[in-house]
């Protein structure tokens, strides 16, 4: 009887192994859905559609971008977390969706542990910005002095956005405080910054570069490790005296937990080829975004470090939304 049971268990294990192997060999055999948690025309949507257009031919199947917006991205994240773990439903998401929303909103029933990181895709740098006027601060030292001298305010694209949290990170590093004025998006925030309604903001170069080039905004410092190629004369925060602070949106592809490794590896290898394409690099540069060319293990390490920064900051600030 025990021998028969062992044979049955062995047969089941072998059957599962060969089924998984067959799936990996034939994957993908139908179109792949790439879920974006924001609406059409958003930065994430543009990036995902660019990626999908190059991924499809490499994988031999169409990659269809599907916008599942709503509830600060909760709908899209949860739909992928609950999808079949077969590689046919992928998620394009970034820092705020993974590490901010689940802490701020009790309705978010997901976290990084519900996904398998598949491929690093992008890193969007930020800058500390002021209006480009004769009376506005011209350096980070002048900005810090202005904040110390009297109460000041800063703009953000909304409560809990990277523009909000990034500024708070900078202020805490400097041992300063300023009043947060949230807006509905970067467009409105930067408009009021240019108009002098607030003293400064920390926002992405994607949102701000047009205004920097027009001369209406001045970048005092960039927030990544090295100077930005598009702003070679602007120092980093470390160069400006605030070392140890980095603010950038990290984005990539994720699959539901339990997706077979061979399937994940196929998508990962294809995504790496996409990012190595000079054409793609040019298109990333056009929207002030850097391809995130690191290995998947390095991407995992980076995600863990990001979680250690942003989730605790949300808790410290006591941010809650529903």
Look at residue 27 and tell me whether its pLDDT is greater than 60.
yes
Query: Does this chain's domain 14-123+250-317 share its CATH topology with 125-222?
Result: yes
What pLDDT score was predicted for residue 7?
Answer: 61
**Buried residues in 242-276 as b, exposed as e (16+ CB within 10 A):** beebbbbbbbbbbbbeebbeebbebbbebbbebbe
Distances (CA, A) of 308 to 101, 194, 204, 319: 14, 33, 21, 16
**Tokens 């958003």 found at:** 42
- What would the CATH number be for the domain defined by 14-123+250-317? 3.40.190.150
Q: If residue 56 lies in a helix (H) or strand (E), which one and from where to where?
A: helix 43-59
- Would you call 134 helix, strand, or coil by DSSP? coil
Q: What is the Cβ-side half-sphere exposure of residue 107, based on CA atoms within 13 angstroms?
A: 9
What pLDDT score was predicted for residue 251?
Answer: 95
- Would you call 248 helix, strand, or coil by DSSP? strand
Query: Which band of pLDDT confidence, cut at 50, 70 and 90, is reported for residue 304?
Result: very high
How many whole angstroms separate alpha carbon 295 and alpha carbon 119?
A: 8
Q: Using CB atoms within 10 A of its CB, is residue 151 exposed (0-12), middle (13-18) or buried (19+)?
A: exposed
What pLDDT score was predicted for residue 322?
Answer: 64
**Which position has the higher pLDDT, 10 or 314?**
314
pTM for this structure?
A: 0.85
What pLDDT score was predicted for residue 299?
Answer: 97
Q: Which of 18-22, 26-30, 196-200, 271-275 has the lowest mean pLDDT?
A: 18-22
What pLDDT score was predicted for residue 4?
Answer: 57
Please report, rounded to a whole number, the percentage of residues in the chain having pLDDT higher than 70: 92
How many whole angstroms separate alpha carbon 286 and alpha carbon 309?
A: 29
Instruction: Give tens-digit pLDDT for 260-293.
Output: 999 999 999 999 999 999 999 999 998 889 999 9
* Domain segments of the chain as ranges: 14-123+250-317, 125-222
Looking at residue 236, what DSSP letter applies? B
- Tokens matching residue 222: 């960039």
Instruction: Give tens-digit pLDDT for 222-270.
Output: 998 899 999 999 999 999 999 988 899 999 999 999 999 999 999 999 9
Look at residue 66 and tell me whether its pLDDT is greater than 50.
yes
49 φψ region: left (φ > 0), alpha (ψ -120 to 50), beta (else):
alpha
* Range 136-142 average pLDDT: 97
How many whole angstroms separate alpha carbon 125 and alpha carbon 228?
A: 8
Look at residue 318 and tell me whether its pLDDT is greater than 80.
yes
What pLDDT score was predicted for residue 101?
Answer: 94
How many whole angstroms separate alpha carbon 175 and alpha carbon 144?
A: 10
- Architecture of the domain defined by 125-222: 3-Layer(aba) Sandwich (3.40)
* Range 53-59 average pLDDT: 97
* pLDDT mean across residues, the chain: 91
Distances (CA, A) of 266 to 59, 84, 178, 260, 270: 8, 17, 47, 10, 6
Look at residue 315 and tell me whether its pLDDT is greater than 90.
yes
Instruction: Give tens-digit pLDDT for 153-181.
Output: 999 999 999 999 999 999 999 999 999 99
């Amino acid at each position: 009887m025990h021998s028969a049971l062992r044979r049955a268990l062995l047969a089941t294990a072998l059957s599962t192994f060969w089924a998984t192997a067959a799936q990996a060999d034939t994957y993908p055999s139908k179109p792949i859905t790439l879920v974006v948690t924001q609406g059409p025309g958003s930065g994430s949507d543009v990036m995902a559609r660019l990626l999908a257009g190059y991924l499809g031919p490499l994988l031999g199947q169409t990659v269809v971008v599907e916008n599942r917006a709503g509830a600060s991205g909760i709908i899209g994240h949860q739909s992928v977390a609950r999808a079949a773990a077969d590689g046919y439903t992928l998620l394009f998401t970034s820092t705020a969706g993974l590490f901010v929303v689940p802490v701020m909103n009790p309705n978010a029933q997901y976290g990084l542990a519900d996904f398998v990181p598949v491929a690093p895709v992008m890193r969007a740098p930020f800058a500390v910005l002021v209006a480009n006027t004769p009376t506005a601060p011209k350096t980070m030292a002048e900005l810090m002095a202005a904040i110390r001298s009297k109460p000041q305010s800063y703009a953000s694209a909304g409560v809990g956005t990277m523009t909000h949290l990034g500024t708070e990170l900078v202020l805490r590093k400097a041992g300063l405080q300023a009043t947060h004025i949230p807006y509905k998006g970067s467009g409105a925030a930067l408009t009021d910054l240019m108009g002098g309604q607030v003293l400064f903001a920390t926002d992405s170069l994607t949102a701000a570069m047009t205004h920097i080039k027009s001369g209406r905004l001045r970048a005092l410092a960039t927030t990544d490790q090295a100077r930005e190629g598009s702003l070679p004369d602007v120092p980093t925060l470390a160069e400006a005296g605030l070392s140890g602070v980095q603010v950038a949106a990290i984005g990539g592809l994720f699959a539901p937990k339990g997706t077979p490794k061979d399937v994940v590896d196929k998508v990962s290898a294809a995504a790496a080829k996409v990012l190595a394409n000079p054409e793609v690099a040019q298109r990333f540069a056009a929207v002030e975004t850097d391809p995130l060319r690191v290995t998947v293990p390095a991407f995992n390490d980076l995600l863990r470090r990001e979680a250690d920064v942003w989730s605790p900051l949300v808790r410290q600030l006591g941010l809650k939304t529903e």
